[in-house]
Structure 1
Amino acid sequence: MTDQPLNAIERMATVKQERLNARLKQRYNRERRFKAYGIASITGGLAFLAILLITIFSQGIPAFQSSFIKLDITYDPDALYIDDASDPEQLRFADFDNAVRQSMLERFPEVSGRNDTRELMSLISTAAGYTVRDRLIANPDLLGQTETLWLMADDDLDLVLNGTIDRNLPSDERRVSDLELEWIDDLLANDDIERRFNTTFFTRGDSRDPETAGVWGAVVGSFYTLVVTLALSFPIGVAAAIYLEEFAPKNRLTEIIEVNINNLAAVPSIVFGLLGLAVFINFFGLPRSAPVVGGLVLTLMTLPTIIISARASIKAVPPSIRDAAMGLGASKMQVTLHHVLPLAMPGMLTGTIIGMAQALGETAPLLMIGMVAFIVDIPQGFTDAATVLPVQVYIWSDSPERAFIAKTSAAIMVLLGFLALMNLLAVLLRRKFERRW
């Protein structure tokens, strides 16, 4: 009689144990699947990031090299239409392109006819004449003499050498004709073409010709813009965070301010550009496409980020620090400035640099204030017309010239380098000023 209930209890226990084991197995299977999904998503994200970086670098590396053609330039007074190389007025109207043209025709004496001459001159950059001019200005004694110069080649020649233009395609499907390919082969066979590091890319501003276009103007414009942004956003953001966290009364007004600050951090950046256009340019009359206006617009955009990060850093300071300082007789201001602020400064600096990195990569708000203009000259001040690196990337990516594809990728590489340096600076500053308690 007693064995039957015991067997029933054992069977029920066995069933419960089997159900428990089944549920545990399902739970473990879900955990393994979740882990697998997480690993797959991370792996996929890293793979796409690697593909993106490889694509950018593979397309951008050719922009760091440029081709030069060796020519014997004769500074013939009759061809240049000058007789005094020290006269700035004569040099201003001298035909240095004619000197380059005569040198190319001497190098290829078989060329005749207007069309063939035009194709021959398409191998040399339009900046070659300026190089010859600069040489004569620096050495007036060269007038009437001949010297060998390495002059910059056209971007199409670069595209042929780096394989971007497939020379095996039919002539009507490529920009370079068969005759131009023969001249290029002749120059290569005689070592009259040399590949060099493209210093022009890092020393000049924008240009209509890809081979002479550079990012230095955009780099300087970005520097001036970020200086204005940092000079305004950091002190204002830190002061606002200290006031809201340490001194502001907790009432309806401060709650509305806090909600608006959090909402402003999510506002699309182009809205700040419209605000800058309406207020700083139309109302105050500040110059369009100037770093000072760009800095003001980016200050409005980065302030919410800096205030939020600064408040989080202040909240992270233990209350015991405040209580100990006030127990020793320190005032509220002394507690904040001498104890709370130094301990919160690493987080504030990190948030500020992250906000500055975000500002460095912004394009939309700067387009609204005219920083999309074609700027050739290097800006010399905060009120000069300028552009910035993201806008330069946007301009080049919209250009129909194939050589600007490499320029665009190279400019992105420079921008990524700046962002990496700013994030590295954030880490170093955090380690330097971080205090443990």
Structure 2
Amino acid sequence: MTDQRSQAELVRQSLKRRYRKERRFRAYGIAAIAIALSALVILFADIIGKGHTAFIKTTVTLEVDIDGEAMYLDDASDERQMKMADFVEPLIRALMKEIPEAGESDRDDVRDLINPYASNQLRDALRENPELLNTTQTMTFLSHTDVDVYVKHAGDENYSIKLNEKQQAWVDTLYERGVVDTGFNDVFFSRGDSRDPSRAGILGAIVGSLLTMVVTLALSFPIGVAAAIYLEEFAPQNKLTDFIEVNINNLAAVPSIIFGLLGLAVFINLFGMPRSVPVVGGLVLTLMTLPTIIISSRAAIKSVPPSIREAAEGIGASKMQVVLHHVLPLAMPGMLTGSIIGMAQALGETAPLLLIGMVAFIVDVPDGFFDSATVLPVQVFLWAGSPELAFIERASAAIMVLLTFLIGMNALAIWLRKRLERRW
């Protein structure tokens, strides 16, 4: 009886130890998840905290007296006179009217409140409508970057305010009167890159990314699916096939910069294709994405039950008919999921595109696949390396836009998987 009790006690102690180990293991898992989520929250909070103000622009609304005599302009339709005209003087005069305390000695400080490209806006307005000459018009301009930084970050120790005390007092007064105002920064989504942070936008990078992704998808999806079908359904099991499979799996783990070096050596140096164009970028990202699509497509084909093939062959279908009419439609959800995830990975790549010249400063929005372009990750790289904090702000905002695209693509992959998959 005593032996039975001692054995029961040993069993209870063993169970207690096992349960304690299970609780510890569960606690370790929960702690790991909590740490990962905390790091993710900190990352997002830092990005959003730095970048949300980039979606706000600072503007100056003025009553501009478009005086031809002050501008040395008699005929706004004369292109030669337009090139020689002074479009800055009307802006200075209009702003000095709003700042009565500013004297002639303060003209330079007043001029520094207006964006340097505001004169171009006035010139373009006159070119479109020469009848505006010698009239007074209410016009809204972007403020100078220093004014934008002061309005949005006054009192923030992380930002250096470059306006002097007199200019700060003027801006405060103009802001109270509504001459200086803030609003949604549509410029950020409607322009390409610029040397001036207040005029810098991501439209060129977005269009460049879309063109590059179109080339990547058009090449990688059909080639990847065709390769997966051949390897899984038609290729004989021999050393050559095994060699190909091993190398495909190895290529999926190769650093992306290697594909950039390959693209530089083959597409640019060997074939003489132009640098910094979406076609070359798409070709490089196709090489990088193909292993992921092939592996995921093979896994999707393997998941189709053998009974489907046997039933089709039993009613006389050929091997090609079995694959095209039965296996491929059932494996397509997994193929689409793998392809979207591969495209999302390609969208966020920077290193391979830097090597083929897509790091160039591109102002214009590309119109085609052979126009010079940049992509969102490279645009973030360029702005993040700028010493001006206003560009750092826009880099964080561009990261937010890029993350939105990536999260959207992954959500689409999950939705397609749930929508189209069949359970056996």
The reply to whether residue 399 of structure 1 matches residue 399 of structure 2 is no
1:194-234 CA deviation, whole Å, 9 max, x = no partner? Answer: 11111000000001111100000000000000000000000
2:370 aligned residue: 383
The answer on whether the counterparts of 1:241 and 1:307 sit within 8 Å (CA) in structure 2 is: yes
Give 2:139's aligned residue: 149
Correspondence list, 1:190-205, <5 A: 190-205=177-192
Aligned to 1:40: 31
**Equivalent residue of 2:3, what SS?**
helix
Change (3 A) 1:186 1:139: same
Give 1:359's aligned residue.
Answer: 346
Q: CA deviation at 1:110?
A: 4.2
Q: 2:257 aligns with which of 263, 270, 286?
A: 270
Per the alignment, residue 3 of structure 2 pairs with 12
Residue identity matched to 1:382: F
Q: Distance in 2 between matches of 1:230 and 1:295?
A: 8
**Retained in 2: the 8 A contact 1:261–1:304?**
yes
Alignment of 1:9-408 (within 5 A): 10-112=1-103, 116-163=106-153, 166=156, 174-408=161-395
Distance 2:415 2:88 in 1: 52
Residue 44 (structure 1) shift: 1.8
Q: Distance in 2 between matches of 1:325 and 1:168?
A: 68
Structure 2 counterpart SS, 1:359: helix
87-96 or 150-159, which moves further after superposition? 87-96
- Unaligned stretches of 5+ residues in structure 1: 1-9
Question: Structure 2: where are the runs of 5+ without partners?
Answer: none
What TM-score, normalized by structure 2, do the two folds share? 0.96
Asked if structure 2 preserves the Cα contact closer than 8 Å seen for 1:291 and 1:386, the reply is: yes
Residue identity opposite 2:198 in structure 1: E
| Per-residue deviation, residues 107-149 of structure 1 (Å, max 9, x unmatched) | 33543466x4333222211121122122222321110111121
- Paired residue secondary structure (1:70): strand
Distance 1:216 1:418 in 2: 14
Aligned residues: 424
Distance between the aligned counterparts of 2:239 and 2:162, measured in 1?
68
Residues 167 and 102 of structure 1: CA distance in aligned 2, closer, same or farther (over 3 Å): farther
Separation (CA, whole Å) in 1 of partners of 2:246 and 2:83? 62
Q: What TM-score does the superposition give when structure 1 sets the normalisation length?
A: 0.93
What is the letter of the counterpart of residue 11 of structure 1? T
Q: Which amino acid aligns with 1:128?
A: A
Distance (whole Å) between structure 1 residues aligned to residue 165 and residue 81 of structure 2: 39
Q: CA RMSD in A?
A: 1.8
The answer on whether the counterparts of 1:160 and 1:166 sit within 8 Å (CA) in structure 2 is no
User: How far 1:75 moved relative to its partner?
Assistant: 1.4
**Range 394-403 or range 341-350, more displaced:** 394-403
Q: Is the 8 A contact 1:371 1:391 kept in 2?
A: yes
* 1:424 to 2:424 alignment: no
Using the alignment, how far apart are the partners of 1:425 and 1:81 within structure 2?
Answer: 59
Structure 1 CA distance for aligned equivalents of residues 50 and 31 of structure 2: 28
Contact 1:166 1:174 in 2 (8 A): no
Counterpart position of 1:6: none
